[in-house]
């Protein structure tokens, strides 16, 4: 039993040693691969974080506007059109990167909603049809 343990420990250390040797890259090789990549992960992270906070800010602003429009009898079609268009575009962009059909469906529905809100604004307020 003790012999098996030492044999296992010896094989394990050999495998770990060979893995460590395979994964070692020189500093110059790491820099070369980083320069070839043509996109900076820090910039991508900053853009995604900014986009997330921008969406939250937009949603809060539109919610406040819609509450004021509810009490003052204003029109909320244009802000809803903006929100649906923005959110639908984001869903379609996420669909292109991860190919989830729910993202595509949500994007299509939201973009159609944006068009419907815009047409409602045009027909009701500009043309006075409705």
Please write the tens of the pLDDT for every residue from 28-83: 887 777 777 777 778 888 888 898 999 899 899 988 988 888 888 778 888 899 99
* Both tokens assigned to 84: 């649906």
Please report which confidence band the pLDDT of residue 1 belongs to, taking 50, 70 and 90 as the band edges: low
Highest mean pLDDT among 70-74, 116-120, 121-125: 116-120
Instruction: Classify residue 25 as left (phi > 0), alpha (psi -120 to 50) or beta.
Output: beta
The separation between CA 50 and the C-alpha centre of its own chain, rounded to angstroms, equals: 11
Please determine, for residue 91, whether its predicted confidence score (pLDDT) is greater than 80.
Answer: yes
Residue 84 has pLDDT above 90, yes or no: yes
| Banded pLDDT at 116 (limits 50, 70, 90) | very high
Q: What is the mean predicted confidence (pLDDT) over 122-128?
A: 84
* Per-residue pLDDT, 17: 55
Residue 83, Cβ neighbours under 10 Å: how many?
A: 22
The residue among 106 and 74 whose pLDDT is bigger is 106
pLDDT for residue 16 is more than 80:
no
């Amino acid at each position: 039993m003790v012999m098996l343990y030492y044999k296992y420990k010896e094989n394990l250390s050999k495998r770990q040693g060979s893995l460590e040797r395979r994964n070692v890259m020189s500093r110059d090789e790491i820099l070369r691969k980083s320069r070839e990549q043509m996109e900076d992960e820090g910039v991508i992270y900053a853009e995604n974080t900014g986009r997330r906070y921008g969406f939250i800010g937009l949603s809060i602003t539109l919610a406040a506007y819609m509450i004021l429009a509810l009490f003052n009898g204003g029109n909320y079609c244009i802000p809803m059109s903006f929100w649906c268009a923005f959110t639908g575009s984001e869903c379609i962009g996420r669909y292109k990167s991860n190919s989830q059909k729910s993202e595509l469906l949500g994007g299509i529905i939201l973009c159609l909603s944006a068009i419907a809100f815009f047409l409602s604004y045009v027909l009701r307020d500009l043309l006075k049809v409705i």
